[in-house]
Homo-oligomer: A and B are copies of this chain.
Amino acid sequence: MSNQIKVGIVGYGNLGRGTVEAIKQCPDMELVAIFTRRTPDSVSVNESNVQVLHISDAEKYKDEIDVMILCGGSATDLPDQGPYFARMFNTIDSYDTHAKIPEYFSVVDNAAKESGKTSIISVGWDPGLFSLNRLMAEAILPNGENYTFWGKGLSQGHSDAIRRVEGVVGGVQYTVPITEAVEKVKSGENPELTTAEKHQRICYVVAEEGYDKAKIEHDILTMPNYFADYHTEVNFITAEELKANHSQLPHGGFVIRGGKTGDNHKQIIEFSLNLESNPEFTSSVLVAYARAAYRLNKEGQAGAKTVYDVAPGYLSPKSAEELRRDLL
């Protein structure tokens, strides 16, 4: 199909791989190339017909790629790559350093406005779909409270923290919403809850042979920021169990707003995700917003955007008429 949207991917980690998969489910899109900082030959892609190129070759594809999906991380990749690619392409990224979003938005906005491109930043599920639901629920029920719960899901940062503990050879951490807190929120009571009161942390740890497990457990439970303030549970397992039962990347969570209308009527809005693969789901959101970026740019809407600026109809391959007829 000659009128497919031509997509490029920058970065080939979990998110990049998920993006390749997500594009395969979209008949209106075509993957042109994956760009990497590694030696392209060293990157093996499952798909036989996908070309892998060095990131320095991207600018040669200015006229051949409609949207570039940036699959790098927020800490070190996107602060440079976001504005760099916005100078040449419509872009999508999943920038998620909440505190620096205004600054990042402004840098990407300047770059995109100069090039006349459209860049949708901070796309995914949080920030992303959860942000959308926080906004809409608050706008609809001004008299109320928002609650965000994460999990049950594997937290990469906390898993890394466990693996840095002396005597630990492997491990993962799941963030799990605390049932009582969830029930309170769903009842419309609008309780005051800290992050620690909403979530517990369940760790599965492989200890070095002969190492004192009690010491490992103590070191984890008392680790500041990561575990000390939380209800944390440490379970020791074998390396085989770790591999067999904990090598997937499930995640999810929910945004709930409890509000009141009229004569004190309780109204509850909830949005929830239950994901067997966190990176594949995030990629699927990026790809739907890539469609939106392409269309917004066709309409001349240049600059940086967030999910708040994108009318939902732009995400669907269906026409406005079809959507009104079939889905409204």
The answer to whether B132 touches A261 (Cβ under 8 A) is: no
Q: Which of A138, A188, A267, A270 has the most chain B CB within a 10 Å cutoff?
A: A267
> Do B267 and A277 touch (CB < 8 A)?
yes
Residues in B neighbouring A306, C-beta threshold 8 A: 323-324, 328
Q: Kindly state the separation between the CA atoms of A308 and B328 in the bound complex, as whole angstroms.
A: 8
Q: Does A281 reach chain B (CB closer than 8 Å)?
A: yes
A101 close to chain B: CB less than 8 A = yes
- Docked Cα-Cα span, A274 to B281, in Å, equals 26
Q: When the two chains form the complex, which single residue of B131, B316, B324, B325 contacts A139, counting CB atoms closer than 8 Å?
A: B316
Check if A105 is an interface residue, CB within 8 A of chain B.
yes
How long is the Cα–Cα vector from A312 to B78 in the complex, in angstroms?
25
Say yes or no: is A320 at the interface (Cβ < 8 Å to chain B). Answer: yes
Q: Chain B nearest CB: distance from A197 CB in Å?
A: 21
Most buried by B among A140, A142, A276, A284: A140
B288 adjacent to A267 (CB under 8 Å): no
Q: Which residues of A17-52 have CB atoms within 8 Å of chain B's CB atoms?
A: 17-18, 21-22, 25-26
What is the size, in residues, of chain A's interface with B at 8 Å between Cβ atoms? 70
A288 CB contact (under 8 Å) in B139, B252, B270: B139
Q: What residues of chain B lie closer than 8 Å to A324, measured between beta carbons? A: 101-102, 105, 306, 308
Name which residue of chain B comes closest to A122, CB basis: B328
- Type the 1/0 row for A265-305, where 1 means its CB is closer than 8 Å to any CB of B: 11111111111110011011100100100000000000000
Task: Chain B residues near A139: list those with CB within 8 A.
Answer: 288, 291, 312, 315-317
With A268-B275, A273-B269, A327-B131 in contact, is A261–B142 under 8 Å at CB? no
The contact sample of 19 A-B pairs, CB cut-off 8 A, is A17-B262, A98-B328, A135-B313, A135-B316, A139-B317, A140-B285, A140-B288, A261-B283, A261-B284, A267-B275, A267-B284, A268-B274, A270-B270, A270-B274, A271-B271, A306-B323, A306-B324, A307-B328, A309-B313
Q: A-side interface residues toward B, CB under 8 Å?
A: 17-18, 21-22, 25-26, 98, 101-102, 105, 122, 127, 129, 131-136, 138-143, 186, 188, 252, 259, 261-263, 265-277, 280-281, 283-285, 288, 291, 306-313, 315-317, 320-321, 323-325, 327-328
Rank and list the top 7 A-B pairs by shortest CB-CB distance, nearest first. Answer: A308-B313, A265-B277, A139-B315, A265-B276, A261-B280, A268-B274, A21-B262
